Amino acid sequence: MKDRLLDALRTSRADYTEIRVERTWGSSVTYRGRRLESATATEDQGGFVRALHRGYGWGVASFTSLERLPAMVARATELSRAIRVEDPIRLADVPPHEADALLDLDGDVRGVPLAEKKRLIEAYNGEMLAVSDRVVDTLASYRDEVTEYWFVSSAGAMLHELRPEVTLSGTAVARRNGTIEKGLESIGLRRGWTGAQSRSAGFRAAAERAVALLDAPGVKGGRYPVVLDPELAGVFIHEAFGHLSEADFIYENPQAREMMTLGRRFGRPVLNVGDNGAEPGLRGTLPFDDEGTPTQDTPLIREGVLVGRLHSRETAARLGERPTGNARALSFRHAPIVRMTNTYIGNGRGTFEDLIRDIKLGVYACGAFGGQTLLENFSFTAAYGRMIRDGHQAELVKDVVLAGNLFQTLDRIERIAGDFRWNQMGGGCGKAGQGPLPVTEGAPHVRIEEALIGGDVPA
């Protein structure tokens, strides 16, 4: 394959050309209730070529038939030539790497029969169904993938990797009369068959939570001191802040750049935020991004002040900064764009109990059913919550929706506990039609001085 790629590369007349080829073996098994919904294996393959002539635009071609590789190199160079740009596109230098970075497959899923995968997820599904008669429906799915990946560029890069991934997810639906509640479990790992074992407890807990929520009152809407658990805090920092630190949002946009000026204060000195694509063992981790740049730990907010952002080679060159290894593509079907990897809120001090000790009345918001950020506004639906009364956790509450303005909310993060953890969830991040891209988030418990908890809107 390498020779084939290098031969194709040599035919390009562009100033810069890169080729990616991927071959992905995948399988998935899904249960709904006691019924097996599907068990299937797939094979996906294809390539991607990107070419750039000095003074012209990007020409991009993707394809599923590898016989078409030389023709698609020609097509990409021709597309580049079709676009004249006044302001030349420049790429920040990255030393070309040659690597055979075979990630640890952790029990190669390709050697495991589909029937065994079925038994595994059937057992986890059974854990949810066994919790109570009130669990009326479940959805449980196992999904795995191994991608063999090649990247070559005319700058001399030559990468070959095997990338494993396994995800497990469960939804338990509990019902009593007209009331329906859900509990979710989601695990996503850049690992293999071994990593998928011994995960029963999380599935059971999801079903128990769904049942418990049947008796829980809806939270009373209003402004409260709010403590986010590490999972919701991680989702919050990814959605509400992380996307603004992706440099493609600002690099051609002077007003946005002003909003995101380095040195601007975004929070109090307790707040540290970063993105680390090199942290071992996480779902967003890879040795190189899809432009061949090594991944790294990039500080974004240090002691409350904006200190960095995430870059591709192009955005880095435009802003006179260094590439950070964040140019990622969902697959060979897509061009790399600036994306997060493993995004985190840095550790603080003390325990969760310390964090809530002086809260008379507040809300402890846990887990995430979903979240959306639109520019500076966000809305997150927590999986469940607990009231905090007189410094202690009190009753379970549901319909906890956290909504607000990003800048105000970041500035109201007043305390951060010392119990950091990575949340290795499935799902992923969507941007510009490329999703779900594997990412991870991590955080400790985070306390927000005051935030709007809603759902209930008074008529």
Q: Which of 148, 321, 354, 376 binds other proteins (CB under 8 A)?
A: 376
> Does 200 contact other proteins by CB under 8 A?
no
Task: Tell me, residue by residue from 146 to 175, as one string, x for binding to other proteins by CB under 8 A and - for no binding.
Answer: ---------------------------x--
> Does 87 contact other proteins by CB under 8 A?
yes
Hey, is 351 helix, strand or coil? coil
> Does 85 contact other proteins by CB under 8 A?
yes
- Comparison of 355 and 368: residue with beta carbon closer to other proteins: 368
Q: Taking the CB of residue 134, how many other CB atoms lie within 10 A of it? A: 16
- Comparison of 177 and 459: residue with beta carbon closer to other proteins: 459
Q: Which of 12, 77, 80, 324 binds other proteins (CB under 8 A)?
A: 80
Q: Taking the CB of residue 280, how many other CB atoms lie within 10 A of it? A: 8
> Does 232 contact other proteins by CB under 8 A?
no
> Does 39 contact other proteins by CB under 8 A?
yes
CA distance 206 to 8: 51
CA distance 130 to 179: 20
Segment interacting with other proteins (CB under 8 A) among 51-59, 91-99, 152-160, 204-212? 51-59
Q: Which of 115, 262, 361, 394 binds other proteins (CB under 8 A)?
A: 115
> Does 58 contact other proteins by CB under 8 A?
yes
**Are the beta carbons of 425 and 286 closer than 8 angstroms?**
no
User: Two tokens at 21?
Assistant: 């080829």
Segment interacting with other proteins (CB under 8 A) among 286-294, 338-346, 378-386, 440-448? 378-386
**Are the beta carbons of 207 and 414 closer than 8 angstroms?**
no
The separation between CA 179 and the C-alpha centre of its own chain, rounded to angstroms, equals 32
Q: How many residues bind other proteins (CB under 8 A)?
A: 77
> Does 379 contact other proteins by CB under 8 A?
yes
> Does 177 contact other proteins by CB under 8 A?
no
Q: Which of 46, 230, 304, 362 binds other proteins (CB under 8 A)?
A: 46
The separation between CA 46 and the C-alpha centre of its own chain, rounded to angstroms, equals 23
Q: Is the dihedral of CA 299, 377, 439, 327 positive or negative?
A: negative
DSSP state, 242? G
> Does 419 contact other proteins by CB under 8 A?
no
Segment interacting with other proteins (CB under 8 A) among 85-93, 357-365, 411-419, 442-450? 85-93
DSSP state, 187? E
- The dihedral formed by the CA atoms of 448, 450, 454 and 458, expressed in degrees to the nearest 10: 180
